[in-house]
Structure 1
Amino acid sequence: MERIDDVDLKILRILQNDSKKTTKEIATLLNLTVSPVYERIRRLEKFGYIKKYVAIVDKTLIKRPITAICMVSLRYHNEGFIDKFDKQIKSLKEVQECYHMAGKVDFFLKINLESLDTYHEFIRLKLSKIENIGVLESYFVLKEIFQTTEYYF
């Protein structure tokens, strides 16, 4: 992977905070001309430093105010069972994030839904249908203190 310098890092910080900034605005902030900033951004995209650009949506405005954290432990842990779980969990559109964990719990899921009733239906009709789940623990977020998509570097 190609190495990046301090200017590239500054560009990444700016774009993490506001990906709608134009190349011209970024160039002005960095006291550079537009052309080299444009080339640097394209290079950062090409080498995978920038994966994609997204809009962060307000979950309450789209009627998904309930955030559940679901801890899943599998009964069996061979590669085939883990790969099958990975594939099945990716097919559930309600699951916003999934992490394979080390420790007592095998998987950490973040799920945003309309209500506790909707979550109950999700567990009953979808998640519990996945084979090999041994233990399922649910936790509900009472208050979101802060959330970020930015990396510190």
Structure 2
Amino acid sequence: MEIIDEIDLKILRILQKDSKKTTKEIAEILNLTASPVYERTRKLENKGYIKKYVAILDKKRIRRPVTVICMVSLRYHNEGFIDKFEKQIKALDEVQECYHMAGKVDFFLKINLQSLDIYHEFVRTKLSKIENIGILESYFVLKEMFHTTEYHI
């Protein structure tokens, strides 16, 4: 893996906090001109350090206040069953995040929905249709203590 210097790390830190910062604003923070900051930012994008720029939405304002963590254990664990499960989960718009785990459960899913009733309907009509699920445990978030998308770099 390519090593990046302290200026590149500073650019990444700034963009993690506010991806709408302009090249000129970043250059002012770093006491540089805009041209090298622009070139460094493009290099970080091209090398894959920056995957994409996003807007983080307020889940309450978009009427998705209920966060559910689902722990899924599969009945069968060969590669074909795992691949099929991953494809089926990716097709569900309700699932925001999915992680293949080591330990007691096989997959960790994060889902944000409008209500518990809608989650119940989602489980009944979509999640339960995935045939290889052996155990499904649902945990409902009472309060989000903090949430960050930033890495300490």
For this structure pair, what is the TM-score category when the shorter chain's length is used for normalisation? over 0.9
Secondary structure of the structure 1 residue equivalent to 2:59: coil
Distance 1:87 1:67 in 2: 22
* Residue identity opposite 1:72 in structure 2: V
Shift of residue 2, structure 1, vs aligned partner? 3.2
Q: Indicate whether 1:115 and 2:110 are aligned.
A: no
SS class of match (2:142): coil
Give the gaps of 5 or more residues in structure 2: none
1:7 — aligned with what?
7
Aligned counterpart, 1:62? 62
2:75 alignment counterpart: 75
Q: TM-score, normalised by structure 1?
A: 0.99
Question: In the alignment, what sits opposite 2:127?
Answer: 127
Name the CA distance, whole Å, in 1 between partners of 2:23 and 2:45: 14
Residue 49 of structure 1 is matched in structure 2 by: 49
1:84 corresponds in structure 2 to: 84
- 1:131 Cα shift? 1.6
Matched residues, percent identical?
Answer: 81
Q: Cα deviation per residue 1:38-82 (whole Å; 9 max; x = unaligned)? A: 000000000000000000000000000000000000000000000
Q: State how 1:97-112 maps to structure 2 within 5 Å.
A: 97-112=97-112
Taking structure 2 as the reference length, what is the TM-score of the superposition? Answer: 0.99
* Structure-1 residue corresponding to 2:36: 36
Structure 2 CA distance for aligned equivalents of residues 151 and 128 of structure 1:
35
CA distance in 2, matches of 1:87, 1:7: 40
Q: Distance in 2 between matches of 1:56 and 1:133?
A: 31
| Separation in 2, partners of 1:93, 1:152 | 30
SS of equivalent residue, structure 1 residue 146: coil
User: What is aligned with 1:151?
Assistant: 151
Cα RMSD of the aligned pairs, angstroms, is: 0.6
Q: Tell me the amino acid that sits aligned with residue 84 of structure 2.
A: K
The letter of the residue matching 1:42 is: R
Give the SS at the match of 1:8.
helix
User: For 1:95 and 1:128, how far apart are their aligned partners in 2?
Assistant: 14
Gaps of 5+ in 1: none
Alpha-carbon distance between aligned partners in 1 of 2:88 and 2:5, rounded to the nearest angstrom: 40
Structure 1 distance, partners of 2:107, 2:44, is 31
Runs (4+) off by over 3 Å? none
How far, CA to CA, are the matches of 1:35 and 1:2 in structure 2?
Answer: 22
For these two proteins, the number of residue pairs brought into alignment is 153
